[in-house]
């Protein structure tokens, strides 16, 4: 069972987390949802297309202009409160590594803290426990926030992913975060080169076998672009292929830009696996 906010998700239910960037310099949308109006429209569209979670981020993941904790709070807290008002049943996630931001957004109604930088601020898990929020425990290879990997190496990247994420998850439980509200994320591209991310995908079943719900953030990432030699705006097909493989191997939550396309892929995989009936079944029957 996966429980986030007011929602409970069944064992075979694959969940979409829609990305809503409150940044002027996102690698993908270049600030398209930095202003409140377009960002709220994005939430409406994502929910209509099948997203159960919206993931709100106030700082670009990669290098760029410095964003203080106060500025990150300014970009996210009021928006979280408004999304909460408009969508009481949608799971609101906030992508942050800072406990000060976690405190503020949980107070405004956030249900989940998406810690993409692997516990670099250990107080963030304490905030999740105090507010009854969920937590994403991510492998980032020890990288500092907003840095790119440089000559990173692992004896066994998946073994390291398992070691780090399971340790973070166990600590979160010890602090009081509900076990049903914790996810683990292999952290594609974070502290990894393209071959590492491909191997993490190929062996994703090893994460699923731990029993912790697995979140994957694959959407239009550099490992997809490098694998196919495609720029950011031409990575959808590679992303969807990686999504299908991840779904077959047991991932539960998918952090994405393109909600409708991802929903179709996940529904198709679920039907092939026998967990979802066809929407229509007329062929050979009439």
Query: Annotated catalytic sites, by residue?
Result: 221, 255
Backbone φ and ψ for 56, nearest 5 degrees, come out as -100, 125
SS3 per-residue string spanning 110-179? CCEEEECCCCCCCHHHHHHHHHCCEEEEECCCCCCCCCCCCCCCCCCHHHHHHHHHHHHHHHHHHHCCCH
d(CA 276, CA 228): 31
What number of residues does the chain have?
286
CB-based burial label for 102 (10 Å; 0-12, 13-18, 19+): buried
d(CA 167, CA 59): 26
**Among 30, 52, 32, residue whose Cα is nearest residue 42:** 32
**DSSP string for 75-96:** HHHHHHHHHHHH-TTSEEEEE-
Could you tell me if 180 and 2 are in contact, meaning their C-beta atoms sit under 8 angstroms apart? Answer: yes
d(CA 219, CA 256): 5
**Among 155, 223, 240, 214, residue whose Cα is nearest residue 189:** 223
Could you tell me if 95 and 55 are in contact, meaning their C-beta atoms sit under 8 angstroms apart? Answer: yes
d(CA 17, CA 94): 11
Six token digits for residue 187: 């952290």
């Amino acid at each position: 069972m996966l429980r986030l906010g007011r929602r409970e998700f069944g064992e075979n239910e694959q969940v979409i987390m829609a990305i809503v960037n409150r940044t002027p310099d996102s690698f993908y949308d270049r600030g398209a949802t930095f202003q409140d109006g377009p960002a709220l429209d994005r939430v409406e569209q994502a929910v209509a297309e099948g997203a159960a979670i919206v993931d709100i981020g106030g700082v670009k993941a990669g290098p760029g202009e410095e964003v203080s904790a106060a500025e990150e709070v300014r970009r996210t807290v009021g928006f979280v409160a408004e999304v909460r008002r408009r969508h009481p049943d949608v799971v609101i996630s906030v992508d942050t590594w800072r406990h000060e931001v976690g405190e503020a957004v949980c107070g405004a109604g956030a249900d989940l803290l998406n810690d993409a930088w692997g516990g670099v601020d250990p107080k963030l898990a304490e905030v999740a426990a105090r507010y009854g929020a969920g937590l994403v425990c991510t492998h980032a290879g020890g990288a500092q926030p907003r840095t790119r990997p440089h000559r990173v190496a692992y004896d066994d990247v998946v073994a390291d992913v398992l070691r780090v994420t399971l340790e973070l998850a166990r600590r979160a439980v010890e602090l009081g975060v509900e076990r049903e509200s914790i996810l683990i994320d292999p952290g594609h591209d974070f502290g990894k080169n393209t071959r590492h991310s491909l191997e993490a995908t190929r062996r994703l079943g090893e994460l699923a076998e731990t029993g912790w719900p697995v979140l994957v953030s694959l959407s239009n990432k550099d490992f997809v672009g490098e694998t196919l030699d495609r720029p950011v705006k031409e990575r959808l097909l590679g992303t969807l292929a990686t999504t299908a493989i991840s779904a077959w191997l047991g991932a539960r939550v998918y952090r994405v830009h393109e909600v409708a396309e991802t929903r179709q892929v996940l529904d198709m995989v679920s039907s092939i696996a026998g967990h979802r009936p066809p929407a229509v079944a007329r062929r050979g029957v009439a």
